Chains A and B, each alone.
Chain A
Amino acid sequence: MTRDDIFQKVAATLVEALNVDEDQVTPESTLQGDLGAESIDFLDIVFRLEREFGIKIPRNELFPESIFQGDPEFVKDGRVTPKGLAELRAKMPYADLTEFEANPTLEGISDLFTVNLIVSYIESKLASGAKAAA
């Protein structure tokens, strides 16, 4: 499956889960900001992706819940600390953090959850599954 195939399937899944129009879903769209996803929508998306791609998405893997809930080592004055950034990289290895690292605000975290993030995650998931099968 090519990256574009994955994107097409992810987009169709989001159209169904979030009740948005097809042309609203671009690789750069943020799930919350652009597509209006709420907390239960993230569960719905995971459920639909599992079904669509025939994979198992462990809890806290694709969409880690409350990464920095109440931990002062990770967040200081509304900004993610270097230690927090390391944690973020560890928890979301498939996320592109380049832009975020330039201005790591707590509010900015939700913008990391993009359509591209899902596509990258699925891509790595399918690749590791293929490797395991080989």
Chain B
Amino acid sequence: MQLKDQIALVTGGSRGIGRGIVRALAAEGAKVAFVYRGSREAADALVAEIGNNCQAIQADVAQADSAQRVVDKVIADWGRIDILVNNAGVIRDGLFVRMEPGDWQTVIDTNLGGTFAFCRAAAAQMALKQRSGRIINISSVAAEHVNAGQCNYAASKGAVNAFTRALAVELGSRNVTVNAVAPGFVETDMTEAVRNKTGDFIQKKLIPVRRLGKPEDIAAAVVFLASPGASYITGQVITVDGGLSLGAVSA
């Protein structure tokens, strides 16, 4: 148990990669609060599965007042926040010439704005009061290895990467590390539409390890970055994609 009695907060925790992260942190002994927006049933099921050391908090990370309310609740209940995982994210894919301002704004407000707001709400607690903390932002390989139809998503994740580096510089002297994990193509609800369209092509031709990612693969990197062994790693974007971003096409 690498994270015994640590307090963790995970956004977007009821489904997909977030759920994998909540499970993995709990399995390492952390008490985990997670934020969900609409998936009440999935959230309740996850809390029931993990038990006492887990709580679900409803909030939309894109709303300006969500972060402070959630952070305050976790501190009121459990006294501190050791690990913050900004995982909540959405896609609104579409070719740019037809992209509605709302599709741009929703993606930026959730993926980048939510990350900003939760970091802002937790930073003073970690840096000044505790003088310790781990912030882990979930980015995407699609920030650097871009796809058509994702101008909004790529912009949001590229900004998360730059934000991660800049914040790492500011909080380093206070024993708070800030890193990002960039998943490749992971089997979740978010990627379902693309998976249905492309069939086996991606895993057979584009991913060297020949399988899609699982939430557990991403969660393992998050656990590592939260663990004592990663205390000297900060400002990094760790790619976890089975080699997808190497850009090779298998013959």
Chain A residues with Cβ below 8 Å from B124 are 43, 47
Interface residue range, chain B:
under 10
- A40: interface (CB < 8 Å): yes
B145 in contact (CB, < 8 A): no
Main SS at interface, chain B: helix
CB distance from B99 to the nearest CB of A (A): 36
A41 vs B127: C-alpha distance in the bound complex, in angstroms?
Answer: 10
Within 8 A of B (CB), among A14-67: 38, 40-41, 43-44, 47-48
Interface residues on A, range: under 10
Shortest CB–CB separation between residue A73 and chain B, in angstroms?
Answer: 31
Asked if B100 is an interface residue, CB under 8 A from chain A, the answer is: no
- A47 & B128 in contact (Cβ 8 Å cutoff): yes
Residue of A at shortest CB range from B170? A40
Closest residue on chain A to residue B131 by CB atoms: A44
CA distance A41 to B174 in the complex (A): 9
CB of B128 within 8 A of CB of A38, answer no
Residues of B within 8 A of A44 (CB): 127-128, 174
- Considering the complex, which residues of chain B in the window 110-145 have a beta carbon less than 8 Å from any beta carbon of chain A? 124, 127-129
Shortest Cβ distance from residue A8 to the other chain B in the assembled complex, whole angstroms: 22
User: Which chain A residues lie closer than 8 Å to B127 at the CB level?
Assistant: 40, 44
- Hey, which bits of chain B sit against chain A, CB under 8 A? 124, 127-129, 170-171, 173-174
